[in-house]
Amino acid sequence: MQSLVFVLVAFLLGCNEFMVVGVISNIAKSYHASLSTVGLLVTIFAITYAICTPILTTITSKYDRFKVLMVMLAIFWMGNTMTALAPSLPWLFISRIITAAMAGTIISLILVFVSVIAPLEKRSMLVAAVFSGFSTATIIGVPIGTTISMLSSWHISFLVISVLTILIGAGLYWLVPRGTKQVTGSIKSQLRLMTDRRIALMAAEYTFYTYIRPIITDVLGFSASQLNWLLGIIGVMFIIGNTCAGIISNHYGIRKMPLISTACLALLLLMGLAFRLSWPGIALLCLICFILGMPGSILQVMFLNVAERDYPEAMSLASSLNPICTNVGVSIGSLVAAISVNLMPVSQVGYVGALFALIGVICTMMLMKTNV
């Protein structure tokens, strides 16, 4: 049951983060704003996530993890409810900043609890299971939210997330272990982890995902009614990728990361050609999302193992590293994509992701030279 509630937390956070992608056109229409302006919601969310997560996880590491988790979840609920009720675009940006600041710390604490309850030999699969919660959000949460948005209003979609937050929060209250062992240290001693050569920043390959809805409907020509089940298929590919990542991490550690990054680079470069036809375009999106489902849990297990062995006082910070790395990449990538979408067709934003994927290949090759 503990594992299930941890996965549900990831699902909740994934719905909150990715829901904007599914309703981006509706938000733009409701506030009479351009698509590129609303797309900056993704950028702001990712930047806030990347900046606040290490700060909050480091500062709160000396306090009881359970209490911090419940307080953060309550603030997250307030921020998401603000999103649902936002009367204007500036209010929407403020509410997304609040939820982003809390989301990174929440998932970091969940991953710390995973490392506490899971034996080392099962850690990879449980981390992969938690990450699959984000993918499940794209299969179930985002399509349902998109449907609600089309039938009623995108505001209602976020109100549903607020209700889920209360229910899942109750599950956490009853199932999360209290008084887990904590090794405390000064902020300086915790930040030593960030100087370790094995900590690499990647994952800007997600650039195209910000505009996946207009890609499917406007570029590939599918109808709004087809959008939901196509997003569901893409989400399934994320989950399969996560599952494969757990197996790969158990058997090979990070040794297959250069191959994964190279495959992502090659697929992103094919976007311009594949998007000329509808079904080949969808097939390519599925393959890309399958590959993108792998790096997260593989790297997160590495971060946890490195911290447990060499920096035990920085376990909370280590648990936040993959979300930080991903959102640093997403913030840079989506910002560049928001600019690019005004200069080139939306179908070409994959090339922006390919540029960052190339950086990812270089980073993983350098990572292989270190002693992990």
pLDDT of residue 367: 56
Shortest CA distance to 10 belongs to which of 141, 179, 101? 141
CA distance linking residue 183 with residue 28, whole number of Å: 47
**pLDDT tens per residue, range 332-359:** 655 655 565 555 555 555 555 555 556 5
Mean pLDDT in the chain? 77
Neighbours of 235 (CB within 10 A): 26
Is the model's pLDDT at 251 over the cut of 70?
A: yes
pLDDT of residue 261: 76
Q: Is 221 left (phi over 0), alpha (psi -120 to 50) or beta?
A: left
CA distance linking residue 53 with residue 253, whole number of Å: 25
CA distance linking residue 299 with residue 348, whole number of Å: 28
∠ CA 57-243-308, rounded to 5°: 35
Mean pLDDT of 1-29: 87
66 burial class (0-12, 13-18, 19+ CB within 10 angstroms)? middle
pLDDT of residue 201: 40
Find which of 28-37, 67-76, 123-132, 190-199 is predicted with most confidence, using mean pLDDT: 67-76
∠ CA 109-111-115, rounded to 5°: 115
297 burial class (0-12, 13-18, 19+ CB within 10 angstroms)? buried
How much of the chain exceeds pLDDT 90, in percent?
19
**pLDDT tens per residue, range 280-301:** 888 888 888 888 777 777 777 7
Is the model's pLDDT at 123 over the cut of 80?
A: no
210: amino acid identity, one letter? T
- 27 to each of 94, 186, 357, how far by Cα in Å? 15, 43, 29
**pLDDT tens per residue, range 211-230:** 666 778 777 888 877 877 88
337 burial class (0-12, 13-18, 19+ CB within 10 angstroms)? buried
Helices within 118-153 (DSSP H only): 120-136, 142-151
**pLDDT tens per residue, range 183-201:** 555 555 555 555 555 554 4
Name residues whose C-beta falls within 8 Å of residue 130's C-beta, 6 or more positions apart in sequence.
6, 7, 9, 10, 107, 110, 111, 114, 297
Confidence bin at 204 (pLDDT 50/70/90): very low
**pLDDT tens per residue, range 59-111:** 887 888 899 999 999 999 999 999 999 999 999 999 999 999 999 889 888 98
Mean pLDDT of 35-50: 83
Confidence bin at 323 (pLDDT 50/70/90): low
What secondary structure does DSSP assign to 245-286, as a single string? HHHHHHHHTTTTHHHHHHHHHHHHHTHHHHTTSHHHHHHHHH
pLDDT of residue 199: 53
pLDDT of residue 187: 57
pLDDT of residue 38: 86
When mean pLDDT is compared across 28-37, 253-262, 268-277, 307-316, the lowest value belongs to: 307-316
pLDDT of residue 363: 61
Confidence bin at 35 (pLDDT 50/70/90): confident
Q: Who has greater pLDDT, 15 or 46?
A: 15
Neighbours of 166 (CB within 10 A): 11
CA distance linking residue 62 with residue 48, whole number of Å: 22
Is the model's pLDDT at 250 over the cut of 50?
A: yes
Q: Are 203 and 325 in contact (CB under 8 A)?
A: yes
Is the model's pLDDT at 366 over the cut of 70?
A: no
Name residues whose C-beta falls within 8 Å of residue 163's C-beta, 6 or more positions apart in sequence.
none
Q: Coil, strand, or helix at residue 62?
A: coil
